Amino acid sequence: MTGNAEIAIRLGPAVLVGSALGLNRELHGKPAGLRTHGLVSLGAALATMVAFRSPDSSLTIDPNAIGRIVQGILTGIGFLGAGVILHDKEGHVAGLTTAATIWICAALGIVCGLGYWLILLIASGMTLLILSVGKMIEQWAMRHFKRKGSEPSDRSV
């Protein structure tokens, strides 16, 4: 396989999986959508590939370099994710799921950059499953397990 084909094989799935997760957020009207998630995943894959490849394949790669790159990516993405988390005056928090999807997109991009295809398949499937049915499960659990009188409006002051 040529170097260009391998690059496309690693970066292409990163864009696809990131965009798929972003599409979910986009369809739910969230501030970070398809483009943001696709770019996060692509950027993480790209940075990971650069960490263990040299243009002419002549350099010996420091085995710790990939670990440092992964740490840097996941830390840096935390700041991007923090930008979509909102607090209102009543103390409600919004945007946590979108921040989490931005973070997982970075992790999945790293996986693509390293070429761990089985991990990508399983983790992407699990992520899409959580995004698809997670809200329904939360609502079902709240109806069935929430104790009566535990809501703030039911408490005596």
Mean pLDDT for the stretch of residues 124-152 = 84
| 16 class by beta-carbon count within 10 Å (0-12 exposed, 13-18 middle, 19+ buried) | middle
Of 14 and 148, the one with more pLDDT: 14
Instruction: Write the pLDDT tens digit of every residue in 107-123.
Output: 999 999 999 999 999 99
How far apart, in whole angstroms, are the C-alpha atoms of residue 85 and residue 35?
A: 18
Instruction: Write the pLDDT tens digit of every residue in 44-57.
Output: 999 988 877 666 66
User: In DSSP terms, which residues pair with 32 in a beta bridge?
Assistant: none
Q: Cite the DSSP H helix spans in 91-116.
A: 96-114
Nearest in space to 21 (alpha carbons), one of 9, 8, 38: 38
pLDDT at position 156 is 42
